[in-house]
Amino acid sequence: MANYCMEVMHSLRKTMPMPRYLTFLMDSCGMRYASGTLLQQKRINQDGDVATTDPFSETVFFFDRSVGQLCRFLTTSCDGASKKVLPMIRPILQNWLSATSSASGNDVIQQLVQSRAAISILAAFAWDEILSSHLPIQSSTGFVGPKFLDLDETLDSLVVNCIIDQFELTARLWSMEGGVGGGYDIMDDLEVQQQYLARLLGPITLLLRYRHGMFDRFLEEICRRVVVQRSQESKGGQQEECHSEGANGATQEGVPSNRKIDVVEVHMKALLLVLKSKEPASFVDLVRGSDNGLEARLLSTVENIQKSVAGGHLGHLGSKLMHQANLCKR
């Protein structure tokens, strides 16, 4: 019924003021219900048991269908929708993008769902402009110009920070996974992690591939966060080791440790998937076809990340990243 109502309103959009129509669309997509508590309740049957074997992290994609419908309505609201519609909904998108960096945000699911919706909407407008421009989608130099989507550096930076915040929120969510949904432990299932990241990166890779300068910003910021995080963990680990030895002497056998997903590991896995991405066009071709020093900046970024994890348990991921980066050389 909800879908039918939205279809009817979409067919009547020309009979009402555009702001009212857009307000209806944005209010109807369900973001106000994007709560981890509410979504967990949907997974529980009448007997109080979890009604699905899917990991709790799958709730991040619960609203994908409604957001996809919203994207279709937004991009077909009028001709040149990205120039007319996007500025009108920008305050809402900025609010959703900012959700990932909220200091008071304790609902990881809500933060991920709202930020994913905002990035999906931006990606939909991007794809609409790309198709309308008749650019060769597979072209290695197929960036849309700097005026693409009529964004500015402030929103670009917000998007990049939001993307990387999603990786960090994902690490938090996976660390919580064992205590939610019947004891399923995603930390032991690398294939599920890979599938989750691939879905999360869907709209992200499109923006990184076609939004002018965004891939550069992404490389710079993810490198900065990896290096800073690894440095902090190194200092914290030394202090914790000294404290642990003094307090306990030894680890009790059979007592489960408070395991956490390594944030740096999620960053590196996500970056590796981005570099391997071939949809809608290859990142390898993008780097090879760039004439503005992108290849050198990519290699420098990966080298810095590899150095920061050298000698540790993520050294193998650093080697994989370097191998993939070398494939981007001309």
Residue 255 has pLDDT above 50, yes or no: no
| Average pLDDT value for residue range 43-62 | 61
pTM of this prediction? 0.82
Predicted pLDDT at 5: 75
Find out whether 208 and 214 touch, Cβ atoms under 8 Å: yes
Predicted confidence at residue 179, as pLDDT, reads 43
Q: At 1, is the pLDDT very low, low, confident or very high (cuts 50, 70, 90)?
A: low
For every residue of 247-312, DSSP letters joined together read: HTSSPPTTPPP-----HHHHHHHHHHHHHH--SSS-HHHHHHH--SSHHHHHHHHHHHHHHHHTTS
Tell me the HSE value of 105 on the side-chain side, using a 13 A CA sphere: 25
DSSP assignment of 116-154, as one string?
HHHHHHHHHHHHHHHHHHT--TT-TT-PPPTTGGG--HH
Strands (E), 56-165: none
Q: Is 25 exposed, middle or buried (0-12, 13-18, 19+ CB in 10 A)?
A: buried
Q: Which two tokens stand for residue 32?
A: 């106000």
Residue pair 93/122 in contact (Cβ under 8 Å)? The answer is yes
Instruction: Compute the residue count for the chain.
Output: 330
Average pLDDT value for residue range 161-168? 94
DSSP state of 246: H
User: Phi, psi (5° rounding) for residue 290?
Assistant: -75, 140
Which one is predicted more confidently, 10 or 245?
10
pLDDT value at 53 more than 60: no
Q: In this model, does residue 167 exceed pLDDT 90?
A: yes
Least confident span in 1-5, 35-39, 216-220, 226-230: 35-39
pLDDT at residue 84 in the model? 87
Indicate if the alpha-carbon torsion angle 115, 117, 121, 124 is positive or negative.
positive
Query: Is pLDDT at 93 greater than 80 in this prediction?
Result: yes
pLDDT tens-digit series, residues 3-42: 767 777 777 777 788 888 888 888 888 787 776 656 655 5
For the residues 195-203, what does the mean pLDDT come to? 93
**Residue bearing tokens 């945000």:** 105
> Hunting for tokens 């990205």 — which residue is that?
82
Could you report how far apart the first and last alpha carbons of the chain are, in Å?
Answer: 54
Q: What is the pLDDT of residues 273-325, one digit of tens each?
A: 999 998 777 888 888 877 778 889 999 999 999 999 988 889 999 999 999 99
pLDDT tens digit string along 41-51? 555 444 444 44
One-letter amino acid for residue 115 of the chain = S
